[in-house]
Amino acid sequence: MKERRLLLSGLMMMVLLPGVRPSLAQTQHRASDTFYWRLDAGTTYHLGDTEKSPFNLNLDNWEAGWPYPLMIHLEIGYQFTSSTQLGIGYQAGSYPLVEVYGAEVPENTDDPKAARHTISLLWRRLIEDAPVRDVLPFLPPDALPFVSLGLQGTFGGPRASWGPGFGIGLDFLAGPQISGIVEWRHYLSLPDDALDGRDDNGFGPFDVLGRFSIGVKWTFKKAGS
């Protein structure tokens, strides 16, 4: 009789345990009430009034040669809770064809005026709710998705531009103070001619700077300290 009960208990655990998921608050250990810094690098693109935009998906930015569409981003900020951050970031990026029409590629890229410098105020929220594992079952145990919103000013073009920014990404916990970051981010640029010198609405009433980056974030305090 005792052996039968043990067998039944074991079978019930095998059936029920796969459906039992600990809350992300229990499985994730990130610091709170601490300053942090973050460094990212990646590739850039733009959507604008110039003809060669990423919509044609033929990698024109890379074919144009040096400077290649690359960026680096440095951010410092404060992590209020394990899931909420506010930071100030500086991004230096190259957008080779931002002021070049398709008919001018690649002959007229000796002085492409590709550099753009962006300063941004960023709010970021990690999604710690347990149901996210049901929506994204492929996530590694120590990864959390996040969304970010912000305001940006971009310099280096025909004139300064401004606009909102938004992004999505993943935060991979690597230690009590360090995370790996993957992010896809966009900045809207207003007025329309500030980024590329064109305001003919060939793309729309605004332009967009985009980036795909990987990086690292380090908090000044350890989780739980």
Per-residue pLDDT tens over the stretch 3-25: 444 444 444 444 343 443 444 44
CATH assignment at residue 54: 2.40.160.20
Query: Does the residue 72 lie in any domain?
Result: yes
148: confidence class by pLDDT, cuts 50, 70, 90? very high
Q: Are strands 161-173 and 178-189 parallel, antiparallel or unpaired?
A: antiparallel
Q: State how many domains the chain has.
A: 1
Q: Check pLDDT > 50 for residue 209.
A: yes
Domain extent for 103: 32-219
Scanning the structure block, which residue is given the tokens 């003809």? Answer: 51
Task: Report if residue 23 sits inside a domain.
Answer: no
Provide the pLDDT confidence category of residue 87 given band limits of 50, 70 and 90. very high
For the segment 36-60, the average pLDDT, to the nearest whole number, is: 76
Average pLDDT, the chain: 79
Give 133's pLDDT tier (boundaries 50, 70, 90): low
Beta bridge partners of 61: none
Chain mean position to CA 78: 17
Residue 55 forms part of a structural domain: yes
What local confidence, expressed as pLDDT, does residue 30 receive? 86
Residue 188 lies in a domain: yes
Burial per residue of 85-96, b for 16 or more beta-carbon CB atoms within 10 angstroms, e otherwise? bebebebebbbb
| pTM of the predicted structure, to 2 decimals | 0.78
Q: CA–CA distance from 176 to each of 29, 126, 139, 224 (Å)?
A: 7, 16, 19, 9
Within 8 A by CB and 6+ apart from 137, the residues are none
**What pLDDT is recorded for position 108?**
44
Examine residue 8 and state whether it is found in any structural domain, yes or no.
no
The answer to whether position 11 is within a domain reads no
The answer to whether position 24 is within a domain reads no
